[in-house]
């Protein structure tokens, strides 16, 4: 854990100053991060800091006024989602459920195709990042299966470095997706096969060396295993609400949020933070919520270089299922949870008794918030 992060101090030449000191300086800090992201040196940074100072805008609950524009937190301009090939709003609900067939013994086989490709993406307006991706997107596809399925993933490495898919789940050592067991060199294909268990909210990521570089480049994604209600007598009701395709599940507004960070100048410190890659995407365009229906978030922390990340919901509380591997909450009535790297869980809440409005959510590390990890739910009376 590196507590003292330093950047060149523009006004005094040699003196160095913790990056956090800049963050506490207020809205200018985001600009500093943005400039660092461009690889812009101390001169321009000094120019930016010499610009007329503005008092920091406090974060006022229920007052999103200044947030999405350049007067406060946020980004100026828009990311070209079409050029990226993925839209952060689509990523929230985009599940890859594979190709389903039946094995001779009646068991369900679920087959996926994943290709690793190098791809430059835009993570904030004008900020480009040389990503390594699964299927051209960051995070990679949300793979969703049902407990007990035989899962087969045909992984082809079309990138420039060796890569793997290491799944968090139960599987044999041969299928672990580490160097020596399921690593695919450029041009190679490896087929991972295992039973989808335990049910829960999981993830996969590259485990080639050095791991931190392969992860922070963008090689990670959510892996959701829905519970099979028949295996959970006494909890069939809750299990069915999680099982994609049931009417009970359709009642829920489900979103996948992968918390990530981007080290745009490759100094092993993140310049940008987000859920689903694009800084402030859900602040610029809030996530619409029908207040009559419950909300479920599959939250995964894949942030590299920082030991923990967190999720805080404004004006409301939620139940939490650590790793998603239980059908009763592991935490009840909380408004903040933290996750170490690779930790994940399911949040459930409702705005049924709330008045409509914009409800903020963000990392409760203020630094992460100011560098992109903040958004809003637009709670509405139903569409």
Residue at token pair 């800084």: 279
Separation between Cα atoms, residue 340 and residue 338, nearest integer Å: 7
* Nearer of residues 206 and 297 to Cu ion, judged by Cβ: 206
Q: Which of these ranges, 77-85, 156-164, 253-261, 364-372, lies near Cu ion under the rule CB under 5 A?
A: 156-164
* Nearer of residues 138 and 363 to Cu ion, judged by Cβ: 138
* Nearer of residues 19 and 217 to Cu ion, judged by Cβ: 217
- What is the closest distance, in whole angstroms, from the C-beta atom of residue 210 to Cu ion in the complex? 10
- What is the closest distance, in whole angstroms, from the C-beta atom of residue 163 to Cu ion in the complex? 3
For the chain, give me the number of helices (H) and strands (E)?
10, 23
Q: Which residues of 367-382 are buried (b: 16+ CB within 10 A; e: fewer)?
A: bbbbbbbbbbbebeee
* Nearer of residues 39 and 179 to Cu ion, judged by Cβ: 179
Residues 6+ apart with CB under 8 A from 35: 44, 45, 48
- What is the closest distance, in whole angstroms, from the C-beta atom of residue 117 to Cu ion in the complex? 12
- What is the closest distance, in whole angstroms, from the C-beta atom of residue 120 to Cu ion in the complex? 17
Q: Which tokens sit at 151?
A: 């899962």
Region of residue 358 (phi > 0: left; psi between -120 and 50: alpha; otherwise: beta)? beta
In the 3-class helix/strand/coil scheme, how is 27-47 assigned residue by residue?
CHHHHHHHHHHHCCCHHHHHH
* Nearer of residues 220 and 318 to Cu ion, judged by Cβ: 220
- What is the closest distance, in whole angstroms, from the C-beta atom of residue 138 to Cu ion in the complex? 13
- What is the closest distance, in whole angstroms, from the C-beta atom of residue 159 to Cu ion in the complex? 7
CA dihedral over 210, 212, 218, 222, signed as positive or negative: positive
- What is the closest distance, in whole angstroms, from the C-beta atom of residue 139 to Cu ion in the complex? 14
- What is the closest distance, in whole angstroms, from the C-beta atom of residue 231 to Cu ion in the complex? 34
168 half-sphere exposure, CB direction, 13 A CA radius: 23
Among positions 159-218, residues that touch Cu ion (CB under 5 A) are: 163, 206, 208, 214
* Nearer of residues 37 and 182 to Cu ion, judged by Cβ: 182
Tell me the longest C-alpha to C-alpha distance in the chain.
73
Does 133 contact Cu ion by CB under 5 A? no
- What is the closest distance, in whole angstroms, from the C-beta atom of residue 183 to Cu ion in the complex? 9
* Nearer of residues 134 and 349 to Cu ion, judged by Cβ: 134
Separation between Cα atoms, residue 375 and residue 92, nearest integer Å: 13
Separation between Cα atoms, residue 15 and residue 82, nearest integer Å: 42
Specify whether the CB–CB gap between 299 and 373 falls below 8 A.
no
Residue at token pair 């001779």: 104
Q: How many residues bind Cu ion (CB under 5 A)?
A: 5
* Nearer of residues 220 and 255 to Cu ion, judged by Cβ: 220
- Interface characters, 214-253, with Cu ion (x: CB under 5 A): x----x----------------------------------
- Interface characters, 77-116, with Cu ion (x: CB under 5 A): ----------------------------------------
Q: What is the dihedral of CA 259, 137, 208, 114, to 10 degrees?
A: 120
* Nearer of residues 177 and 375 to Cu ion, judged by Cβ: 177
Helix or strand or coil: residue 317? coil
Residues that bind Cu ion (CB under 5 A): 163, 206, 208, 214, 219
């Amino acid at each position: 854990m590196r507590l003292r992060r330093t950047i060149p101090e523009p006004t005094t030449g040699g003196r160095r100053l913790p990056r956090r000191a800049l963050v506490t300086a207020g809205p200018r800090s985001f600009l500093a991060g943005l400039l660092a992201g461009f690889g812009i040196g101390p001169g321009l940074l000094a120019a930016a800091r010499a610009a007329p100072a503005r008092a920091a805008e406090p974060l006022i609950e229920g007052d999103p006024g200044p947030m999405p524009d350049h007067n406060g937190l946020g980004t100026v301009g828009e990311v070209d989602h079409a050029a990226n090939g993925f839209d952060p709003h689509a990523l929230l609900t985009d599940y890859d459920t594979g190709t389903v067939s039946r094995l001779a013994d009646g068991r369900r086989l679920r087959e996926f195709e994943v290709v690793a490709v190098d791809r430059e993406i835009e993570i904030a307006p004008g900020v480009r990042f040389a990503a390594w991706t699964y299927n051209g997107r960051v995070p990679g596809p949300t793979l969703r299966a049902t407990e007990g399925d035989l899962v087969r993933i045909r992984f082809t490495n079309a990138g420039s470095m060796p890569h793997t898919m290491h799944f968090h789940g139960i599987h044999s050592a041969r299928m672990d997706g580490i160097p020596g067991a399921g690593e695919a060199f450029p041009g190679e294909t490896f087929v991972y096969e295992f039973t989808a268990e335990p049910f829960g909210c999981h993830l996969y990521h590259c485990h080639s060396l050095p791991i931190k570089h392969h992860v922070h480049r963008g090689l990670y994604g959510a892996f959701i295993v829905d519970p099979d209600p028949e295996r959970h007598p006494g909890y069939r009701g809750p299990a069915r609400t999680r099982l994609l395709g049931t009417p009970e599940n359709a009642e829920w507004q489900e979103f996948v949020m992968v918390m990530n960070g981007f080290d745009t100048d490759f100094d092993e410190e993140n310049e940008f933070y987000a859920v689903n890659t694009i800084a402030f995407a859900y602040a610029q365009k809030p996530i619409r919520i029908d207040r009559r229906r419950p909300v479920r978030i599959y939250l995964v922390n894949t942030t590299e270089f920082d030991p923990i990340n967190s999720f805080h919901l404004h004006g409301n509380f939620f139940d939490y299922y650590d790793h998603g591997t239980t059908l009763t909450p592991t935490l009840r009535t909380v408004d903040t949870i933290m996750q170490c790297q690779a930790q994940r869980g399911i949040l459930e809440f409702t705005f049924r008794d709330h008045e409509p409005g914009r409800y903020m959510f963000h990392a409760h590390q203020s630094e992460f918030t100011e560098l992109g990890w903040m958004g809003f739910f637009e709670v509405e009376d139903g569409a």
